[in-house]
Homo-oligomer: A and B are copies of this chain.
Amino acid sequence: MEIPGKEALEAAQYKIAPYIHRTPVMHCKTLDKLSEARLFFKCENMQKIGAFKARGATNALLSLPGDGLKKGVATHSSGNHAQAVAWAASLKGIPAYIVMPRTAPDIKKKAVRGYGAKIITCEPTQTAREATLKQVVEDTGAQFIHPYDDYRIIAGQATAAMELIEDHPDLDVIFTPVGGGGLLSGTILAAKYFGRNLKVYAGEPRGADDAHRSLQAGKILPSINPDTIADGLLTSLGERTFEIIKQGVEAIVTVSDGEIIHAMRLIWERMKIIVEPSGAVPLAAVLQNTHLLKGKKVGIILSGGNVDLNTFFEGLGEKTN
């Protein structure tokens, strides 16, 4: 297969539209002032399953031949892709097998189970994930849906930026987070095919900065024991995503966990919407680079909103006793 062309992205958008939300684009005067730019937040935290991953998973599943679906689908994921595949499989009524690191947040495990998928737990390393997944595929005959290194996934994730560009054709730049690179590479393709001289940047947690290092080295240098609060961005680039990213990204900005939490808090308190740490990474990157963005129209993809709120609400409940 080749890097998806304009038509592949348009086909993905058409195919998944009946299943996903066209998410709103929000503004915030306080954050515009703070950044001295005009920010357009694409609210993928309000997408089905609470993250953009619903787009890629739906496109991948709908692209499989009918026969190939009977034995179900399988994947490994630290969270949102797991939910996305489980959810998309439930739409089709087929089994889903999800390999998840034992450290994944409870809220994400619970949601996956809620869609009727089977969870297989593994150690939180790339090697353990891949070995466990291989075994599951052998045992069940399920089709593997890679979380990012798959052109059907990349084309699906591209649709978030396509919608944002449709709503705001004169954007100057778009910021996304980068983990495995599915959203970033999809956004790069969308910007290339549908933007007007639209540049794409990514924010990456400093504790999982493989994309930044890989780009500098010109080859994939995976993260070893990545450590960041942005639990959706622990994975490392794949061959297909790296190829697109190295050609098309303007820069990858690394941000500290402190900067991520600061950005996340601004979004919660000022915009009154919930993003998970990974979803706040692009704003953290923007706030670190306001000198470059002055007066520009900046798209920001708020990638997801799945935060474990147990402790918060248990605390509230106790107050009432």
- The 22 listed contacts between A and B (C-beta, < 8 Å) are A24-B24, A43-B272, A45-B272, A46-B272, A50-B272, A229-B316, A229-B319, A229-B320, A257-B320, A258-B320, A261-B316, A261-B317, A261-B320, A264-B313, A268-B309, A269-B309, A272-B273, A272-B305, A273-B273, A273-B274, A274-B274, A277-B316
SS class of chain A's interface: helix, strand, loop or mixed?
helix
Q: A residues bordering B, Cβ < 8 Å?
A: 24, 43, 45-46, 50, 229, 257-258, 261, 264-265, 268-269, 271-275, 277, 305, 309, 311-313, 315-317, 319-320
A305 to B273, CA, bound (A): 9
B274 contacts A268, CB within 8 Å? yes
- Distance from A21 Cβ to chain B, minimum over Cβ atoms (Å): 9
8 additional A-B pairs beyond A261-B313, A268-B274, A272-B274, beta carbons within 8 Å, are: A45-B272, A258-B317, A264-B313, A268-B309, A269-B309, A273-B274, A274-B274, A277-B316
Q: Give every chain B residue within 8 A of A277 (Cβ-Cβ).
A: 316
Q: Give every chain B residue within 8 A of A316 (Cβ-Cβ).
A: 229, 261, 264, 277
Residue of B nearest to A276 (CB): B272
- Distance from A126 Cβ to chain B, minimum over Cβ atoms (Å): 22
- Distance from A260 Cβ to chain B, minimum over Cβ atoms (Å): 8
A271 touches which of B46, B258, B265, B317 (Cβ 8 Å) = B46
The 10 closest A-B pairs by CB, nearest first: A257-B320, A272-B305, A272-B274, A45-B272, A312-B312, A265-B313, A46-B272, A273-B273, A229-B320, A261-B316
Residue of B nearest to A111 (CB): B269
A319 to B227, CA, bound (A): 11
- Distance from A253 Cβ to chain B, minimum over Cβ atoms (Å): 18
A24 to B311, CA, bound (A): 29
Q: Give every chain B residue within 8 A of A319 (Cβ-Cβ).
A: 229
B265 contacts A309, CB within 8 Å? yes
- Distance from A35 Cβ to chain B, minimum over Cβ atoms (Å): 19
Residue among A43, A258, A273 facing the most chain B CB atoms (10 A cut-off): A273
Q: Give every chain B residue within 8 A of A273 (Cβ-Cβ).
A: 272-274
- Distance from A147 Cβ to chain B, minimum over Cβ atoms (Å): 22
A134 to B274, CA, bound (A): 41
- Distance from A65 Cβ to chain B, minimum over Cβ atoms (Å): 30
A305 to B268, CA, bound (A): 10
- Distance from A83 Cβ to chain B, minimum over Cβ atoms (Å): 13
- Distance from A263 Cβ to chain B, minimum over Cβ atoms (Å): 11
- Distance from A25 Cβ to chain B, minimum over Cβ atoms (Å): 11
A320 to B206, CA, bound (A): 12
Q: Give every chain B residue within 8 A of A275 (Cβ-Cβ).
A: 272
A14 to B239, CA, bound (A): 57
Q: Give every chain B residue within 8 A of A24 (Cβ-Cβ).
A: 24
- Distance from A116 Cβ to chain B, minimum over Cβ atoms (Å): 16
